[in-house]
Amino acid sequence: MVAPPAGGGPAAAVGLRTIRRVPSPGVGQNGGMESLRGQLLIASPKIVDTNFRRVVVYMAEHTEEGAMGLVLNRPAETTVTEAVPDLGWLAGEDDTAIWVGGPVSPASVIVLAEFDDPASAALIVEGDLGFVPAEIDDRDTFAAGVRRVRIFAGHAGWGPGQLESELEEDSWILEPARRGDVFTAQSETLWSEVLRRKGRDYVLLATMPMDPSLN
């Protein structure tokens, strides 16, 4: 996990970040690595860093050159219009909370959405799910072409080989992502719900209190 830079936070988010795909390796360059793009990383009890303790991360990109993901279960206390007034039109009438996507670049905003036409996205992660472009000419037309939107401040990032090392240390538990995970309304229970979904030993793990001494 890349350490966060000093200063800044969700309320300071002011710029929509343009997402660029990490260059895909050519044939024979993966070294046996399987991309985790579109998967969930579930923080194991080994992670005690407060930035990642009991988080669920949606992996947006993963190649030999690094990985990038968005934390799905950390809503901020500020709303979208409070943190990023220029994106209020995209948040809708409910003016939902902005989400803390991770500790990297906390003053950059990343918008994940479901598109009627995937060609409208700056980058597709999977299917019709992708990132909103930084520049949008016709807001009304664009808003009419997205079904669900989630706005994040910051993201989670890993350098080359870093995520693979953490996986070898059993810091993360893998699970295929469901669309309901990405747009969950139950952030406080997402970590335990996804673990229960895996079954067997993970069901017991899902019931562990935040402080093991209370068990």
Q: pLDDT tens for residues 144-186?
A: 999 999 999 999 999 999 999 999 999 999 999 999 999 999 9
% the chain with pLDDT above 90? 66
194/42 Cα distance (integer angstroms): 8
**CATH 3.40.50.300 for domain 10-18+35-214:** no
Range of lowest pLDDT (70-74, 80-84, 190-194)? 80-84
Q: pLDDT tens for residues 27-54?
A: 223 234 589 999 999 999 999 999 999 9
Which residues is 59 bridged to in the sheet? Answer: 69
Stretch 48-73: mean pLDDT: 96
Q: DSSP secondary-structure letter at 73?
A: S
Q: pLDDT tens for residues 171-182?
A: 999 999 999 999
- Phi–psi pair at 64, nearest 5 degrees: -65, -15
pLDDT at 15: 47
pLDDT at 22: 36
Work out the mean pLDDT of the chain and round it to a whole number: 84
Confidence of residue 139 (pLDDT cuts 50, 70, 90): very high
- List the chain domain ranges: 10-18+35-214
> Vertex 164, ends 160 and 169: CA angle to 5°?
135
Confidence of residue 8 (pLDDT cuts 50, 70, 90): very low
- The pair of structure tokens assigned to 77 is 């206390």
- The pair of structure tokens assigned to 55 is 């988080």
Instruction: Say what the pTM is.
Output: 0.84
Confidence of residue 212 (pLDDT cuts 50, 70, 90): low
Question: Which residues contact residue 14 at a Cβ distance below 8 angstroms, ignoring those fewer than 6 apart?
Answer: 84, 107, 109
More confident residue, 209 or 188: 188
